Amino acid sequence: MAEGVRLAIVGATGVVGQEMLKVLEERQFNVRELICLADPREAGTPIKFRGETFKVQAVSEEAFKQADIALLAVGSEISQELAPLAIKNDCLAIDNSYAFRLQDDVPLVVPEVNPEDISLHKGIISNPNCSTIIMTVAINPIHKAAKLKRVIVSTYQAVSGAGKAGLEELEANVRAIISGTEMQPQVFQYPIAFNLIPHIDIFVENDYTREEMKLVWETRKIMHAPDLKIAPTAVRVPVYRSHSESINVETEIPISLEEVKRIFAATPGVVVQDEPGNNVYPMPLYTSNSDEVYIGRIRKDFSVDNGIALWVVADQIRKGAATNAIQIAEIVVQKTLY
């Protein structure tokens, strides 16, 4: 195979697609040919990459014929239509949407957790939900050391999780409140400025939201722990970027705080910020635009035996989406799995 990858980015003009281009450049991914794809209405839009200008093309079967790997940064309905088209043309699809995540024959991968599953793909590899990626990077090292029995997680999710429209609505909402005018929310259920909304995605039959249940379904699949008990709550917060998570775990085997901290210090992709006496702990303002998962407030959960409490923060556009997908692609290329 010729050196370098023929890489297509589907949704190259969107928030995640644009981040993928930045991450590819930063990580010096070996791109032989870049194909930027988007909605036909955006055809011709210029895209900058490594000092060159590329023109966005309309998504087509012909485009997939020209690519080895396609990074899909689009919604589920579009992915369901395009991923089979990629497979048909011998193009591996790494999909960022929810479309294929729970299918038995589609690997759902966080490279720090289950990279071995990549080799099981049949033409599609799924990128997990952003909050799931962040949580599994944090809890899997504890699971490997002491086997998790139960997880309680509350997520505090930035408005950029709803895309560019979410960012714009927060800004407009702040201006409206400051100026004393009213504004009808369009993206969120209620005004998001100076507010918290415990409602992301739709409610399902058990009165959890689908966003919350993704943390259950996806974590169990990624960690190969089908019986792991997980109680999730997902909250939208008026933060631009980076999701935060309060996580309490209960383990089968006792494990000391010192051992947990030692494990985290040796875990790739993790940064420990845990000096409460010096006010050192992760915060979204300072973790944005980075690829690591930041862990702090590491302490005993004294409400249960073998309990550990964590505060975890990461940039959901990068590690929670773009970077995770590109890490998958790097392993695919390294092991020639395309």
Instruction: Verify whether residue 130 is a known catalytic residue.
Output: yes
Cα separation, 281 vs 31, in Å, equals: 37
Contact yes or no for 291/317 (Cβ under 8 A)? no
**What is the C-alpha to C-alpha distance for residues 117 and 152, in angstroms, rounded to an integer?**
26
Q: Are strands 52-55 and 148-157 parallel, antiparallel or unpaired?
A: unpaired
Of the residues 36, 91, 143, 243, only one is catalytic, namely 243
CB atoms within 10 A of CB 50: 11
Q: Which of 36, 91, 121, 130 is catalytic?
A: 130
What does the DSSP assignment read for 88-134? HTT-EEEE-SSTTTT-TTS-B--TTT-GGGGGG-SSEEEPPPHHHHH
How many whole angstroms separate alpha carbon 229 and alpha carbon 151? 6
Residues 24, 19: Cα–Cα separation, whole Å: 9
Residues with a known catalytic role: 130, 243
